[in-house]
Chain A
């Protein structure tokens, strides 16, 4: 990046110098066109180099952005894995997802737009100032005097704008939302005979929005105005001063033109940094949040060093070969019993997961096909479904008879019915129990959304698991299951 910036700047300097030389040779020295071929050539080469630098820079910065993003992202997912559900349950999954996706995506503009300009502002601007100073001290002084004003102005104006905006923000958001809100609620408004009235309301809310937004924009645009004014007036100042000194022969035309061409280039990166600042800030905020979560995760993993796998069994008295049903009023924490056995909410890695096939209360299906949900996404399963005996059996036992393996379940099981989702979730647990022979089968409300005919198929399946020596524990309110149980645990109010 630095090398590119240096190369690009050198090209700009050569470009400016040779343009000035060309003018001087023809105009002052009275040379003919044949004497400036060298200048024309170097100008072309410098132009080509500049173009190449622009292109390379675009590639480089996008690559940097994406690789940083990918790395942060995969670390973020690992951190969530470490922190586990106990932490995740107190967060909004949608918000975290937004952070991992669009949040980190906004790092793009940080790397692709802000960072290169920052490099230019830090590296190129001083370099050019020194160069100009060496050629013409007076212009150098002018630049040094005006440059620091840019950040100062920006901070002052940014502060004033923020103040103005914050005051307006609340009412502005409401006005922005107004049109979308009444549109979305159009049917409701019609039902209450309020739709026609809204036409007028929309007009007045839009006008109000315009008036107030313009008030804010007048201040917001001031910052752009101040920056432009500052840089163009400085360039004007330098031009006029060069002109007046040229009259008195205090400076040569060559140097004068050279400084005139370069002066705007000095201000450009500083202005760009200001322009890209907000876009960049978003990415920085997102990555800061991600880094905080990474820190938290590394603390947690230090605190809970993992123990050796524990083959002793679960800390519970569900008997092997028996169907145990847990009942009790809702909200008393029956699901938590299973979750604690599995160690799902504790940040310390549970070593007992390999003993259990678990079905959660919500179907918790992943977006993908029925097959992917039962076998997992990574399965190397390629043979025709009929040849996977465990799969066929698991589906029969879960009474999953009305879906094809390649059917999509949709995001959050939106493309299947509640009963279907529950039976896919059951088939998933059964398949695991059948293929891995897990000693425990823990099912949380397995038949609450299943019709009674299919539910009895499921109950028979549970009995046969128990008959084959598995400890089957089920949380349920359903009479059908309680009747089939060999042991019923009533969880009472604690």
Chain B
């Protein structure tokens, strides 16, 4: 719990200032009403106007303070939250580097990483929507109750009780009930979304098979279920709010009763009665900011738990391949002798694999899915260490070379190549920071993208979020262009046909291989589940 809170807690001074200002804001709101009440009551006693002047100034000052502090509070708190993110984001990123991709789980790693990113960003919920309202409501309530207690202890007790009831019973009740209702509603929403998408995407089938009316009936049925859930949710939200309103009334009744009693007995001056009567209203107004706290905390907690799991994760040995200091320059051959690899999640995936690949050769690695082809690819680029066996480059053990020089020599074109948001040039410069436009056009030409992009906006053609503006085949070609620009001596193509129509797969791969070999003595490793494609290589192993 403590560690969870620490994760999203801003350490900047701005946050402290923000909290202080936030408390001042709440106090101003209470003071505004209290001073106004006192002013009016005192005026009713017809004193000389000059006795009222301080209160007049106070009323104006608190009114100004209430809004000015609110503005400052929001600015300071947001600034503090963003500062926290500026330090958390790079920390999480650095922690994740050795885990990508093998240590992240098997399915859609990009999605997992995006989720981690969203989780990191959701840490700002803690300072903005949990701590700040809690501190504000807590301190203001404490000071207000104390203030009343000094003057009127009997009223303070009932006041305190109602405040506690509101904070610890009314708000949690509505939150607890709505949690359940929300979960049910989320299930229904997901079901509805998938049915609705089916309806839009497969309308032809529904029409041609005469199923459209039953599809519509089903959609309506799900919608009606969601109506029930919405009612339940509204019911619980309503219960919470109503309960809150009742405690506010109780507080008012309590302070009014004891206030009236003490004034009529003469133990309190009459001018204070209006103050006792109105202060609870002002305080409960401040309390309204507590309403979303539980919900925000739930959101934060879920994200923070996942993030803290990442932060405390140890890097398993298999993800820590050894590197030396020797610089690898030039490539003649690569050799695996009886290598075995255990995946981070346990169990040997690759068992005693051997092959030799020399410059200029193409090796096809085939096998059904799950046979460890991609694992082998990750081992070749040294993202994974070997459990046994040896891996030699140019006849020397791979551990002797520096990480940097290995990554300059051996490159991988991933199964789902990552296209970054931005244009063609942005995506290619990644491979070579100082590449000229001419160099970029040259590799684009080799992979057959020259024409497509010159018909669009050239190197400034936007590729869209996750490359939505280009096809799967184009993304493969772009990824190869990137690898060519980086001028790797060994290129590993991992399932280059995964996102391409089967009919075009063969053609694409043979074009990619031609492009990769052109004007160079590159070695290629082609990983594929499609044994037809292995005819394009001059040697083959199957796993």
**Does A308 lie at the interface of the complex (its beta carbon under 8 Å from any beta carbon of B)?**
no
**Does A432 lie at the interface of the complex (its beta carbon under 8 Å from any beta carbon of B)?**
yes
Q: What distance in Å separates the Cβ of A181 from its nearest Cβ neighbour in chain B?
A: 5
In the complex, which residues of chain A have a beta carbon less than 8 angstroms from the beta carbon of B210?
A: 353-354
In the bound complex, do residue A84 and residue B203 qualify as a contact, i.e. CB atoms below 8 Å apart?
yes
Report A64-89 CB contacts with B as 1/0, cut-off 8 Å: 01110110011001101100110010
Report A188-221 CB contacts with B as 1/0, cut-off 8 Å: 1111111110111011001101100110011001
**Known: A63-B234, A233-B64. Contact between A22 and B381, CB under 8 A?**
no
Neighbour of B383 across the interface among A190, A217, A222, A242, CB < 8 A: A190
Q: What distance in Å separates the Cβ of B220 from its nearest Cβ neighbour in chain A?
A: 5
In the bound complex, do residue B71 and residue A235 qualify as a contact, i.e. CB atoms below 8 Å apart?
no
Q: Which segment of A51-59, A164-172, A320-328 sits at the interface?
A: A51-59
Q: What distance in Å separates the Cβ of A489 from its nearest Cβ neighbour in chain B?
A: 21
**Does A174 lie at the interface of the complex (its beta carbon under 8 Å from any beta carbon of B)?**
yes
In the complex, chain B residues 66-112 whose Cβ is within 8 Å of any chain A Cβ:
66-68, 70-71, 74-75, 78-79, 82-83, 85-87, 89-90, 93-94, 96-97, 100-101, 109-110
* Minimal Cβ-Cβ distance residue in B for A411: B194
Report B185-198 CB contacts with A as 1/0, cut-off 8 Å: 00001001111111
* Minimal Cβ-Cβ distance residue in A for B193: A101
In the bound complex, do residue B256 and residue A19 qualify as a contact, i.e. CB atoms below 8 Å apart?
yes
In the complex, which residues of chain B have a beta carbon less than 8 angstroms from the beta carbon of A43?
A: 249, 252-253, 256
Q: What distance in Å separates the Cβ of A440 from its nearest Cβ neighbour in chain B?
A: 11
**Does B17 lie at the interface of the complex (its beta carbon under 8 Å from any beta carbon of A)?**
no
In the bound complex, do residue B67 and residue A232 qualify as a contact, i.e. CB atoms below 8 Å apart?
yes
In the bound complex, do residue B246 and residue A51 qualify as a contact, i.e. CB atoms below 8 Å apart?
yes
Q: Which segment of B54-62, B134-142, B384-392 sits at the interface?
A: B54-62
In the complex, which residues of chain B have a beta carbon less than 8 angstroms from the beta carbon of A214?
A: 75, 78-79, 82
In the bound complex, do residue A94 and residue B241 qualify as a contact, i.e. CB atoms below 8 Å apart?
no
In the bound complex, do residue B100 and residue A186 qualify as a contact, i.e. CB atoms below 8 Å apart?
yes
Q: What distance in Å separates the Cβ of B478 from its nearest Cβ neighbour in chain A?
A: 11
Interface size class of B (residues with CB under 8 A): 35 or more
Q: What distance in Å separates the Cβ of A414 from its nearest Cβ neighbour in chain B?
A: 11
* Minimal Cβ-Cβ distance residue in B for A345: B204
**Does B335 lie at the interface of the complex (its beta carbon under 8 Å from any beta carbon of A)?**
no
Identify the interface centre among B46, B75, B198, B263: most chain A CB within 10 Å of its CB: B198
In the complex, which residues of chain A have a beta carbon less than 8 angstroms from the beta carbon of B238?
A: 54-59
Give bound CA distance, A194 to B36, whole Å.
63
In the bound complex, do residue B227 and residue A183 qualify as a contact, i.e. CB atoms below 8 Å apart?
no
Give bound CA distance, A61 to B421, whole Å.
41
In the complex, chain B residues 478-494 whose Cβ is within 8 Å of any chain A Cβ:
482, 486
**Does A319 lie at the interface of the complex (its beta carbon under 8 Å from any beta carbon of B)?**
no
**Known: A27-B41, A240-B39, A360-B204. Contact between A217 and B430, CB under 8 A?**
no
Neighbour of B264 across the interface among A30, A105, A179, A428, CB < 8 A: A30
**Does B1 lie at the interface of the complex (its beta carbon under 8 Å from any beta carbon of A)?**
no
In the complex, which residues of chain B have a beta carbon less than 8 angstroms from the beta carbon of A354?
A: 210
In the complex, chain A residues 22-36 whose Cβ is within 8 Å of any chain B Cβ:
22-23, 26-28, 30-33, 36
Neighbour of A344 across the interface among B96, B207, B246, CB < 8 A: B207
* Minimal Cβ-Cβ distance residue in B for A378: B214
Give bound CA distance, A188 to B428, whole Å.
12
In the complex, chain B residues 324-365 whose Cβ is within 8 Å of any chain A Cβ:
none
Report B242-278 CB contacts with A as 1/0, cut-off 8 Å: 1101101110110011001101100000110110011
Give bound CA distance, A174 to B209, whole Å.
46
**Does B118 lie at the interface of the complex (its beta carbon under 8 Å from any beta carbon of A)?**
yes
**Does B239 lie at the interface of the complex (its beta carbon under 8 Å from any beta carbon of A)?**
yes
In the bound complex, do residue B271 and residue A367 qualify as a contact, i.e. CB atoms below 8 Å apart?
no
In the bound complex, do residue B52 and residue A247 qualify as a contact, i.e. CB atoms below 8 Å apart?
yes
In the complex, which residues of chain A have a beta carbon less than 8 angstroms from the beta carbon of B200?
A: 80, 88, 93, 96-97, 100
In the complex, chain B residues 364-409 whose Cβ is within 8 Å of any chain A Cβ:
381, 383, 404, 407-408
In the complex, which residues of chain A have a beta carbon less than 8 angstroms from the beta carbon of B243?
A: 51
In the bound complex, do residue A33 and residue B277 qualify as a contact, i.e. CB atoms below 8 Å apart?
no
In the complex, which residues of chain B have a beta carbon less than 8 angstroms from the beta carbon of A157?
A: none
**Known: A177-B421, A221-B75. Contact between A74 and B216, CB under 8 A?**
yes
Q: Which segment of A143-151, A253-261, A296-304 sits at the interface?
A: A253-261
In the complex, which residues of chain A have a beta carbon less than 8 angstroms from the beta carbon of B79?
A: 210, 214
Give bound CA distance, A346 to B210, whole Å.
16
**Does B40 lie at the interface of the complex (its beta carbon under 8 Å from any beta carbon of A)?**
yes
Give bound CA distance, A77 to B206, whole Å.
12
**Known: A44-B249, A180-B117. Contact between A239 and B46, CB under 8 A?**
no
Chain A interface, DSSP helix/strand/loop, else mixed = helix
* Minimal Cβ-Cβ distance residue in A for B59: A236
**Known: A27-B273, A242-B40. Contact between A217 and B78, CB under 8 A?**
yes
In the bound complex, do residue B223 and residue A73 qualify as a contact, i.e. CB atoms below 8 Å apart?
yes
* Minimal Cβ-Cβ distance residue in B for A91: B200
**Does A244 lie at the interface of the complex (its beta carbon under 8 Å from any beta carbon of B)?**
yes
In the bound complex, do residue A101 and residue B189 qualify as a contact, i.e. CB atoms below 8 Å apart?
yes
In the bound complex, do residue A184 and residue B117 qualify as a contact, i.e. CB atoms below 8 Å apart?
yes
Give bound CA distance, A354 to B218, whole Å.
22
**Does A185 lie at the interface of the complex (its beta carbon under 8 Å from any beta carbon of B)?**
yes
In the complex, which residues of chain A have a beta carbon less than 8 angstroms from the beta carbon of B438?
A: none
In the complex, which residues of chain B have a beta carbon less than 8 angstroms from the beta carbon of A59?
A: 231, 234-235, 238
In the complex, which residues of chain B have a beta carbon less than 8 angstroms from the beta carbon of A96?
A: 200
In the bound complex, do residue A183 and residue B199 qualify as a contact, i.e. CB atoms below 8 Å apart?
no
Q: What distance in Å separates the Cβ of A201 from its nearest Cβ neighbour in chain B?
A: 9
* Minimal Cβ-Cβ distance residue in B for A200: B90
The 10 closest A-B pairs by CB, nearest first: A47-B249, A378-B214, A62-B234, A58-B238, A236-B63, A246-B43, A228-B67, A210-B82, A206-B86, A239-B36
B-to-A contact residues, CB < 8 Å: 32, 36-37, 39-44, 46-47, 49, 52, 55-56, 59-60, 62-64, 66-68, 70-71, 74-75, 78-79, 82-83, 85-87, 89-90, 93-94, 96-97, 100-101, 109-110, 113-114, 116-118, 120-121, 189, 192-205, 207-212, 214-220, 223-224, 226-227, 230-231, 233-235, 237-239, 241-243, 245-246, 248-250, 252-253, 256-257, 260-261, 263-264, 270-271, 273-274, 277-278, 281, 381, 383, 404, 407-408, 411-412, 414, 417-418, 420-421, 430-431, 465-466, 482, 486, 502-503
Subset of 16 A-B contacts with CB under 8 Å = A22-B256, A26-B264, A40-B253, A50-B249, A55-B241, A58-B234, A183-B117, A186-B93, A190-B383, A206-B82, A221-B75, A225-B71, A257-B40, A344-B208, A366-B205, A411-B194
| Extra inter-chain contacts (15) besides given A94-B197, A192-B430, CB under 8 Å | A19-B277, A26-B270, A33-B257, A33-B261, A74-B220, A77-B199, A177-B421, A192-B486, A196-B97, A239-B59, A261-B281, A367-B194, A378-B211, A378-B214, A432-B209
